[in-house]
């Protein structure tokens, strides 16, 4: 398997439709773990009530599978602990959305 940076790069293809920003720069990806034949992603939504949670998780799983077709197991888990806040965004994400 490759390194975490490659997984994060693949996840940048997943865009939150409400905000128009990818889930990495939005700060929704909390953790990536790579094992010998498995990749696990822990992510959140901007709100527990986000109607796109399951869809974004499925898109994230598909993006990782495309980048790592040799992975036998790819899992994406949604959590709301800790709750997301704008400080979790990347500097690039903040710049794009005009957040100081």
* 4-18 pLDDT per residue, tens: 999 999 999 999 999
The token duo for 53 is 């949670």
Domain ranges of the chain: 4-97
Q: By percentage, how much of the chain surpasses pLDDT 90?
A: 92
Cα–Cα distance measured from residue 39 to residue 73, given in angstroms and rounded to the nearest whole number? 6
Q: What is the pLDDT of residue 1?
A: 43
Kindly report the CATH number that applies to the domain delimited by 4-97: 3.30.300.130
Question: 66 Cβ partners below 8 Å, 6+ apart?
Answer: 10
Q: What is the pLDDT of residue 37?
A: 86
43 and 57 Cβ atoms separated by less than 8 Å: yes
pLDDT digits (tens, 9 = 90+) for 15-56: 999 999 999 999 999 999 999 889 999 999 999 999 999 999
3-state secondary structure of 51: coil
Judge whether residue 87 has pLDDT over 80.
yes
């Amino acid at each position: 398997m490759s390194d975490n940076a490659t997984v994060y790069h693949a996840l940048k293809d997943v865009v939150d439709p409400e905000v128009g920003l990818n889930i990495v720069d939005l700060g929704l990806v909390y953790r990536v773990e790579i094992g010998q034949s498995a990749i696990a992603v822990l992510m959140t939504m901007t709100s527990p009530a986000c109607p796109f949670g399951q869809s974004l998780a499925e898109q994230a799983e598909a993006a990782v599978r495309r980048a790592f077709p040799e992975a036998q197991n790819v899992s994406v888990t949604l959590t709301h602990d800790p709750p997301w806040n704008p400080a979790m965004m990347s500097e690039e994400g903040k710049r794009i959305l005009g957040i100081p």
